[in-house]
Structure 1
Amino acid sequence: MQHLSPAIVAKSVAALALGLGVGAFGTVMHRSVPPWGAVLALVLVLSTGIMARAWGGLLALVGLALGVLVSVQVLSQTGPGGDVLVPSGDGVRAPWLGYLWAYGSIVLLVVAAVVPRRWFAEAPREGVDHDAGAA
């Protein structure tokens, strides 16, 4: 279990801000080049999720996930001029892209949460001479 410290809280707040940016960027760009815009946006979510977990643990990942989810949900609403960044049909060329982005980002954040903890261990590997290259 991770202890709550000011450093962990600061990392979680930074991850929240990063999640807001990643969610906004992915929401704007997921339809840019169908389907590759959505694929690249989802790769960004997964890689950022893994980075947040390695950097600040599960609490930072929760901050990142909250930022991504809030950003995606807010930007998915109908804008003041009637524009929608995440359409769900009605004459849209690829209506499934919005669903892929909205639900795929959630799935990939869960994947980042269930990755084994040993992937992020900072213990040196056995059998490796770490002083062999030192002069």
Structure 2
Amino acid sequence: MQIFSGRGLARLAGSFVVGAVIGLVGTGIHRWMQPWGLIGALVLVLVGGVLGRAWTGSAGVLAVGLGVVTVTGLIGGGGPGGDVIIAAQPIGYLWFAGAIVVAGAAFLPRRWFSEAAALPRDADTDAP
């Protein structure tokens, strides 16, 4: 697939939006029922990375990661009254660093994302 075609750019933009939504939802749930909220948020980041990889390859993984990091960074800072959404505690630091989980999708085998049909099995060589 060509990245700089109209469809490729739309997929990249969609991957960024998916990452932004994941960053928003993950920030909201990372402190819920510790540690399960954080684990769920990190799994969501990994699933987003796999989706980005399936859509546009490595550029999609980068777009999802940028979306997660951008939104997490924007809403993770202090508010006007000094309130914070991501507290300076170990679970908050793990969530900030957790966007790196999306990079795990970049190391998955390329054939998992291939649109080529699998080779048919030979009935003569298959064991009963």
Q: What percent of counterpart residues are identical?
A: 40
Is the 8 Å Cα contact of residues 12 and 61 (structure 1) preserved in structure 2?
Answer: no
CA deviations on 1:46-105 (whole Å, 9 max, x unpaired) are 0111011112222222211111000111111011122111111xxxxxx21111111122
2:99 to 94, 105, 112: 105
Distance 1:61 1:30 in 2: 21
TM-score, normalisation: structure 1: 0.83
Distance 2:46 2:3 in 1: 25
Structure 1 segments, 4+ long, off by >3 Å, are none
- The within-5 A match list for 1:1-135 is 3-88=3-88, 95-106=89-100, 108-128=101-121
Q: Which runs of 5+ in 1 are unaligned?
A: 89-94, 130-135
Please state how far the C-alpha of 1:3 moved relative to its aligned partner.
4.5
Distance 2:65 2:107 in 1: 13
Please state how far the C-alpha of 1:40 moved relative to its aligned partner.
0.3
SS at match of 1:38: helix
What do you get for the CA RMSD once the two structures are aligned? 1.7
CA deviations on 1:97-134 (whole Å, 9 max, x unpaired) are 1111111221x1111112121111111111259xxxxx
Between Structure 1 and Structure 2, how many residues are aligned? 122
Distance 2:16 2:37 in 1: 23
SS at match of 1:4: coil
Is the 8 Å Cα contact of residues 8 and 59 (structure 1) preserved in structure 2?
Answer: no
Q: Which runs of 5+ in 2 are unaligned?
A: 123-128
CA deviations on 1:15-55 (whole Å, 9 max, x unpaired) are 11111111011011100111100000000000111011112
